[in-house]
Amino acid sequence: MYREAGADCLFVPGASDPSTIVELVKEINGPLTVVMGLTGLSLTVSQLQDMGVRRVTIGGSQARATYGLIRKASREMALNGTFDYSSQQHPRC
The CATH code for residues 1-57 is 3.20.20.70
Q: What CA–CA distance (Å, rounded) separates 8 from 22?
A: 19
Q: What was the pLDDT predicted at 93? A: 65
Around Cβ 48, how many Cβ atoms within 10 Å? 19
**Over residues 85-93, mean pLDDT:** 85
Domain positions in the chain are 1-57, 60-88
pTM exceeds 0.85 for this model: no
**Residues 16-47 pLDDT 10s:** 889 999 999 998 878 999 999 887 778 999 99
Whether the Cβ atoms of residue 24 and residue 53 lie closer than 8 Å to each other: no
**Over residues 66-91, mean pLDDT:** 94
Q: What was the pLDDT predicted at 82? A: 97
Task: Return the C-alpha torsion angle 81, 85, 87, 89, nearest 10.
Answer: -130
Q: What CA–CA distance (Å, rounded) separates 73 from 66?
A: 11
- Give 41's contacts (C-beta < 8 A, 6+ positions apart): 16
